[in-house]
Structure 1
Amino acid sequence: MGNTLEPEQEGSWGGAPATKQDMERIAAAGFDTIRIPVRWHNKSQSTPPYTVDPGWMNRVQQIVDWALKADLNVILNSHHFDPIHDDPLGVADWHGGVWQQIAQRFAGYPEDSLWFELENEPHNVFDHSNLISTLTPALEAVRALHPTRAVIIGGENWSGIASLETLPLPDDANIHATFHYYDPFQYTHQGASWTAPDMPPAGRTFPTHADAAKLANDVLAVEAFIDRTGKTPFMGEVGAYDLHIPLEDRAAYHRTITDAFAPTGIGMCVWAYSNTFPFFDRKSGEWLPGMRESLGLEVED
């Protein structure tokens, strides 16, 4: 649900408020899981008891309930908790206090269909050297009420695939690793203004011979992680920006990535539903041609 609950205000980055009909539409289209990125830091107090705005918590719960009622699995995460990336250990208790409230609100929800993702894309000084220490307050808050609910943890450097090589994980059978895949970045983010001053120029094509070789190595990296840890990671985001990439090329990109990683057995969430890297066009009220098919979903004529 990109550009929905993770902007400073819901839908303020060109997105739109989520609706019950969105969840029903996503389920009817053949998807089985929805990932809901949520910004919490500007909706909570930075000092104890770290109170989350009640209206915001109610709104998040409403969307989760809509999704579950539509028979979708839900991954609920903390997204853009900006201060934690600059001062991980200093912000850890605040972050954990927010997760304590999330854990309380969703106590009793079915474990098989609601998963928690503690923090999106650690970066800056939030890295593997302090990842576990920083996330411990949040994990302990969750485990106090959800001892066996699935919890997702991603690694440093924006959770790129290379983070799997050294990703530290707690000794917990219900922890699952995630990584994000926007490779090659020069292709997927061409013309993306938010990447300035290093914005990739428009005109990059995919796949080159080098792209194909890297993709094959990345599949091997996932297989190596599975062999080493006994855990199958989750691709939490994958996509290509639509500003300069024709629709048919975006579909071809997704098909290539989906087919390449399929033998590993990993789950995947695509970025995003209807804004930035979209699959659904709100103006026409239609799914973009070829995009669902690129994921292997069956689409009726």
Structure 2
Amino acid sequence: MGNHLETPDGIDWGRALVAADFTIIRDAGFRTVRIPVRWSAHAQTTAPYTIDAAWMAKVQGIIGWANAAGLNVILDMHHYEELNTSPATQAARFTEMWRQIGAAFSSAPSSIWFELINEPNLSLNDTNLVSILTPALAAIRTTNPTRPVIVAGQNTSGVNSLATLAMPSDPYIVPTFHDYDPVAFTHQGATWIGTLWPIGRTFGSATDVTQIRSNLDKVRAYIARTGRVPFMGEYGAIDLTEVPLSERVKYYDTVSAAYASIGIQSCAWAYTNTFRLREGNAWLPGMLEAVRTTTTQ
């Protein structure tokens, strides 16, 4: 559910969510929504790091809509940039925000999972990730002893992060990764990343196929080494008008089916505001058929 609750000021970048969205999503055959939230923009910066009550109520209300529609929910802490740049100075705030979130959702159904932090990067990496995450997980466990909690690896959680992903000791931890390869296609024309990739790249070359196969091999290796099955928390392709819908559909179809073929389920980025799957009152033609995470091919 991109560009809703993870914006810097809490204002939707695009159309706002309504309760009916979750019924639409369920009726389309989806079973899970991932809801990114920028908690850090709505919490005190000094102890006790209290999260704004109105913001908490807004998040609870939206998750309530999803729950009422019968959907599983992944509640994610997103865009906590201060934690990425200065993990040590933000560790206590990170822990206390999760303590409050855990308490607020302590009686929520087990179909609601927590995701500790989206795409660790910069100074939040393998050298300190476990030590930063462990106290936050312990805070969650005081009110949610068995709720599944998702953990991602360093360097924005790409497939390569699985090779060195270490996790806190906990039986209810679920590993995740993201895959936007080939980035020259998925992020062509994007102005918010380091490289401005030229518009006009198509998808499906022999090089693209080789890269997908290589990424699948890396995930297989992780499963063989750890015995854990991760899920792909994000994949998607930019929705600029210059990028043909047929190319985007081909990408979603290929990537989702490839991962499903090795038992990996996935969350497509995103719904209606960014890298959109739906526009206005309709799903983009071909998208629902392309996002086939419960089939193999």
1:103-155: CA deviations, max 9, x gaps? 010011122x1000000000111111110111122111111111111000101
Which residue of the other structure, out of 118, 143, 157, is the alignment partner of 1:159? Answer: 157
Equivalent runs, 1:81-120 vs 2, <5 Å:
81-111=80-110, 113-120=111-118
Q: Considering only aligned residues, what root-mean-square deviation do their CA atoms show, in Å? A: 1.3
Displacement of 1:10 in angstroms is 3.2
On the 8 A contact 2:39/2:78 being kept in 1, the answer is yes
Paired amino acid for 1:120: N
CA–CA distance in 2 between the matches of 1:81 and 1:177?
A: 19
Which residue of the other structure, out of 193, 196, 200, is the alignment partner of 1:195? Answer: 193
Paired amino acid for 1:203: G
Q: Structure 2 stretches of 5 or more lacking a match?
A: none
On the 8 A contact 2:116/2:150 being kept in 1, the answer is yes
Q: Secondary structure at the match of 1:66?
A: helix
Displacement of 1:240 in angstroms is 0.2
Residue in 2 that maps onto 1:29: 28
On the 8 A contact 2:257/2:293 being kept in 1, the answer is no
Equivalent runs, 1:1-301 vs 2, <5 Å:
1-13=1-13, 15-111=14-110, 113-196=111-194, 198-243=195-240, 244-282=242-280, 285-296=281-292
CA–CA distance in 1 between the matches of 2:263 and 2:239?
A: 27
Which 4+ stretches in 1 moved above 3 angstroms? none
On the 8 A contact 1:30/1:297 being kept in 2, the answer is no
CA–CA distance in 2 between the matches of 1:170 and 1:106?
A: 21
On the 8 A contact 2:9/2:41 being kept in 1, the answer is no
TM-score normalized with structure 1 length:
0.95
Count of equivalent residues: 293
CA–CA distance in 2 between the matches of 1:188 and 1:100?
A: 36
The percentage of counterpart residues that share the same residue type is 46
Q: Secondary structure at the match of 2:261?
A: helix
TM-score normalized with structure 2 length:
0.96
On the 8 A contact 2:77/2:115 being kept in 1, the answer is yes
CA–CA distance in 1 between the matches of 2:90 and 2:106?
A: 24
Q: Structure 1 stretches of 5 or more lacking a match?
A: none
Displacement of 1:297 in angstroms is 7.9
CA–CA distance in 1 between the matches of 2:12 and 2:35?
A: 16
CA–CA distance in 1 between the matches of 2:38 and 2:264?
A: 26
CA–CA distance in 2 between the matches of 1:292 and 1:271?
A: 13
1:33-90: CA deviations, max 9, x gaps? 0000000111001111110000000000000111001000000010001100001121
Q: Secondary structure at the match of 2:151?
A: strand
